[in-house]
Amino acid sequence: MNEGKLGGRFRFPGSSLSVQRIGYGAMQLAGPGVWGPPRDPDGAVAVLRHAVASGVNHIDTSDYYGPHVTNEIIRQALHPYPAGLVIVTKLGARRPLDGSWQPANSPEDLTAGVHDNLRNLGLDVLDIVNYRVMGSGHGPGEGSIAEQVAVLADLRRKGLIRHIGLSNVTAAQVTEAQAITDIACVQNNYNLAYRHDDALIDDLSRQGIAYVPFFPLGGFTPLQSSVLSDVAGRLGATPMQVALAWLLHRSPNILLIPGTSSVAHLSENLAAGKLTVSPEIVAELGRIAAAAVPVEL
């Protein structure tokens, strides 16, 4: 596979928004535990500017990162925003003073969250807002999300949101949401070793809907595999570059948002878009999930 500099492009359904398939996730720009300011504020600004200078035009963020920290850094680094930059944010959580992650999914919470994102990003309208379901650990929570999606649909009608997405959801919740409004993307936990969403990815691909894996490199439990390391050695790449390249090959609707607070690491991640991976290697890597010991990522 060789899909160009940043993995080729993807156009969100029913939209003029078009992005490179390798983007950037801003979560790591906040301080330790995604709380407070970064240790190196100038370095955080430099990472964002390097990403955009390298062709990245898809940035994933949330106003509960910090809280408010990553959005404020994005605004400082990039505002006024370059034409074509797509900023995707998410709602559904809050960070009280103890630093915990708590649900924030009432109509009042969601409405306030949209206005917080608009203010801290310096925008009049948000490109895409994902409603994130706060489940157990990093898995989706069960139950209806109709009320929350309906609130976002109303905010869209008011002109505050262009498109609506979902995060940390089940296939049934996607179907429920689609009965209320168009869904532009789904952001769930998925990587080489954690492939519970294989069927959902294929279904979304048939509909032209983006699938954005969070923890594409394993998250708090980084991917470790002798097969992955062996393939990386043969390709002259890092294991993480190979893991990202596999995701690009997995389905054309997959968009990547690997995060980092390092310019050097960012450059390594972006280079995965130029990595050529043969069908035989793709098949070899695909067997990692079957051999992996189940873990909570």
The residues annotated as belonging to the active site are 65
| CA 42 – CA 159 distance, rounded (Å) | 34
| CB-based contact 285:231 (threshold 8 Å) | yes
Q: Map residue 67 onto helix, strand or coil.
A: coil
Count how many residues are written for the chain. 297
| CA 48 – CA 34 distance, rounded (Å) | 17
**Beta strands across the sheet bearing 86-91:** 24-25, 58-60, 86-91, 126-132, 161-167, 185-189, 210-214
End-to-end CA distance of the chain: 28
CA-derived radius of gyration, the chain: 18
Q: How far is CA 97 from CA 27, 33, 149, in A?
A: 18, 13, 27
DSSP 68-85: THHHHHHHHHHPSPPTT-
| CA 90 – CA 133 distance, rounded (Å) | 10
Closest CA to 265 of 23, 47, 15: 47
Q: Map residue 157 onto helix, strand or coil.
A: helix
